[in-house]
A and B are shown apart, each in its own frame.
Chain A
Amino acid sequence: MTETRMTNVPASGAGLGSGSSIGSGTGPGIDSTAQVAVTGLTIDGPAGVVVAPFDFSIAPGETLALIGESGSGKTLSAKAIAGLLPAGFSARGSIALSSATIELPSTDAVWRATRGRRISLLLQDPFTSLSPVHRCGTQIGMTIDAASATRLSREERTARITQSLAEVNLPAEVARAYPHELSGGMRQRVAIAAALATDPELLIADEPTTALDASNQGEILDLLRGLQEKRGMAALLISHDLGMVRGRAEHVLVMRHGEIVERGVTSSVLNAPSHPYTRALIEADPSLTDRSAGVVRTASGVGVTPAAANADSATGDLVVATDITKSFGDKTVLHGVSVTVGRGETVGIVGESGSGKTTIARCIAGLEHETSGVIEFDGVALATGRASRTPKQMQIVFQDPYSSLNPMISVGRSLKLALRVAGRPASDLNGLLQLVELPTDFASKRPAELSGGQRQRVAIARALAVQPQLLICDESVSALDVSVQKQILDLLSKLRVELGLSILFISHDLAVVRQLADRVYVLRHGEVVESGPCHDVLNAPTHPYTQALVAASIHEAPTH
């Protein structure tokens, strides 16, 4: 298997055009101007080759996108080029920069002279990539100090930090702030300032916006694009999101299982993908294809449309939350929010982080105590807190399937515990696994042996074990790859029809809500700014904020 990969890929690579021909064939310059040329990059893991040899080059000011799902080897490739492979992995090949050529594997001394000054790596999560106990200015200053030959005076360093911050459109006083005082978008700007303070030739950005809200994603990518053009810096953009790449990268490489399966100019790859995997990726990307009208019908197979579900709800709403206000100390996060969920209905709540969307869900679930307002379930008003709710009323599926399952006990035991709560026999276990389309032998596995999508299926099965009337999904697919997202969304729409579930679906991702929800509420700063049938709200938004969200979710880069 490994051997075929090794021999196969250079051949197919040659068939599609070698790496350097991409740079010369369609780029603005010819090969000699290519600032960065990587040849024969191969990564060996503990059990053989994990990334088969591939070549690419990036001209100054241009962006090459490397696309693939998690586990495809794209992040390992990024780390190999930055000399940061984890223990047990080693790289072969060479990296030609305008100032030096690095033969892999290289020594620590070479990397010390390269990292930061010639190649910089920007990580995915701005919430973890900055040290929480150092001021932002200090962290940028560290990069400046590391790269400067002479010791800078205090004034000089401050001036250069201010300049770095200005480049990423942040005010100078951010230098005094700690990362936790800033929003996600601002943190990623600080990280960009820190990564670029030394003027590298190549920036590798590993999923730089995946952890951010939709409206921030575009801004950050455009900022990177602008900085790149200004400096003539080459960029390697690693992403799982094909839609994000449109209009923001000249060329694209598609990687699968450590092999490049397709390469070419971005627009032609997106518009006419030749490899089935690329086609699957494009199809799975919710922002590239609007399936809003189809999902419920196709998945149900029994002709239950959103309209039918709504008609059913005429018998009365399941959850009516009226005028909910919630304050933490003197900070009010919900200002009189009202949400209703009908029987069998799927309701989406959309908003950015800090909009209060999770808080309203937690109030309904009784995990937070609302400051004022009334929550009725099945026509009966519930007191605040968990004590007044029964497991059969509602269950939650959380965002992160890695932390919501107990790693020490098997899937079967987790589910049996949930069945016992509901007073159901343990023999229902197999039926429960089949319900979420998992093989029954998964019962003996532990969460660590499962993929993210499989874990989320287990989490859904656990929630459904007690046969709740309402399922609350709090960003339940946000941590998953697009193709897995689609499978989980399909599962949810199947379940709602089979079980007559009501679903309250919380997400920052309009594209995801679009696929599942009958009705949608758009939350901003703790207030509902718009609500109505999903199709109407998302296709013809009336509030400027919704319009901005919709525009941002389409992933189209503005003209630059």
Chain B
Amino acid sequence: MTITPIARASQARSLGRMLVVRVLGTIGILLVLSIIVFSMLHLAPGDIVKNLLGNRASSPEAIAAIRAQYNLDQPLYMQYLIWLGNALTGDFGQSIRLQDSVSNVIGSRLGITAALSGLAFLLALVVAVPLGVQSAVRSGSWIDRFATGFGIVGLSAPTFAVGLLLLYVFAFYVPIFPVYGAGDGGLDTLWHLVLPAITLALGLGAIILKLTRTAMLRELETDYVTFGRARGLPDRQVHLIALRNAAIPIVTGASLVLTFLVGGTVLAETTFALPGLGTLLQGSVLFKDIAVVQALTLLVAVTIAIIALLADLAYIFLDPRIRAKESAQ
């Protein structure tokens, strides 16, 4: 039997080893991505120096300064290593458009996007998971029909359309929420983020709702649910057992939609004129502000990699069978 203390200790050790392997793998992927992100500078159409100069005058001194600043006279791999070294210390260079260091530019906008994404994700989870559970448990009832309708609307309505609709209704006709901007910080900012967060959460929630319902319907058919009912467990407990078993597909789905959320914020931030990373990315792409685009791309990549890593770790936490398999390898 595998339940002796020694077996447990060795299981913990091999889980630790597995964790290290996963983290190293993630770092490897990020390194490959960093090469792609670095080469954006060289792959962008037009002359590098001109791109980097932006709309500044191209005097010989300015060109020389740019060449020195970006080490353009060094071999390519050295340019990459210097860039990577700087990036790791948080130095992504200067934004040509905003005439400020990229880290400052991003740092000042990161909070609003993080708060928006976090709020939207939380809203989606809090509404969609219980609704999905109920619609599976009472399959065919009015609550199930409502959830199905909600799912179709959420999946098919484009983010900007939902945003505009919400703006008309809750900021114009019934002016309870502000129309645009990020407010003055604290509770006011949260107040400003409610409508954009709902806009984002609708599409997100629809996917999580569908996943939860499908996973729950499958679990409710299983023998251990029947056996739970057969030995007199209360409905609530039986549903919790099923939900716990349905957790893996739900977590997988949630982590996937969370990565989509990163792209979705561009639309929501534009609609609600929020000074976040989405609008920054949009502006920087239009302006060929390559340093900012590089930094944002890398940031998104790191975020997605971390989400994927967390989801992987969640499986191990959620399912003892995966834990056993992992530690056996």
Residues of A that sit less than 8 Å from B by CB = 82, 84, 112, 114-117, 120-123, 125, 128-134, 142-143, 146-147, 173-174, 176-178, 180-182, 191, 194-195, 197-198, 329
Contacts and interface: CB of A to CB of B under 8 A. Distances in A.
Nearest to B244: A133
B245 A142 contact: no
**Which are the 5 A-B pairs with shortest beta-carbon distances?**
A116-B232, A121-B230, A128-B223, A115-B232, A178-B320
Given A132-B321, A146-B237, A120 B226 contact: no
B244 A84 contact: no
Given A128-B224, A180-B324, A181-B324, A116 B231 contact: yes
B3 A174 contact: yes
Nearest to B319: A133
Contacts of A117: 232
Given A117-B232, A143-B232, A147-B232, A123 B227 contact: yes
B222 interface: yes
Contact of B244 (A131, A181, A194): A131
Contacts of A114: 232
A143 B231 contact: yes
A176 B7 CA distance: 13
Interface residues of B, number: 27
18 contacts: A84-B226, A84-B229, A120-B232, A121-B226, A121-B227, A121-B231, A123-B230, A129-B224, A131-B244, A132-B321, A134-B244, A142-B228, A142-B237, A143-B232, A180-B321, A181-B2, A181-B324, A195-B230
Contacts of A177: 1-3
B82 interface: no
A181 B11 CA distance: 13
B231 A134 contact: no
B223 A129 contact: yes
Most chain-A CB neighbours within 10 Å: which of B233, B237, B318, B321?
Answer: B233
A142 B228 CA distance: 9
A132 B319 contact: yes
A109 B39 CA distance: 68
A488 to B, nearest CB: 26
Given A132-B245, A134-B241, A181 B1 contact: yes
A194 B231 contact: yes
A130 B224 CA distance: 5
A84 B231 CA distance: 11
A82 B329 CA distance: 43
Query: Which among B2, B223, B319 has the highest number of chain A CB atoms within 10 Å?
Result: B223
Contact of B232 (A112, A125, A173, A182): A112
A219 to B, nearest CB: 17
B8 to A, nearest CB: 9
B228 to A, nearest CB: 7
Contacts of B237: 142, 146
A191 B230 CA distance: 11
Nearest to B221: A86
Contact of B222 (A116, A122, A128, A142): A128
B252 to A, nearest CB: 15
A131 B230 contact: no
Interface string B201-219: 0000000000000000000
Nearest to A138: B241
B328 interface: yes
Given A115-B231, A116-B230, A122-B227, 19 more contacts: A82-B230, A84-B226, A115-B230, A116-B233, A120-B231, A121-B226, A121-B227, A128-B223, A129-B227, A131-B241, A132-B224, A133-B245, A142-B237, A143-B231, A143-B233, A174-B3, A181-B2, A182-B1, A191-B227
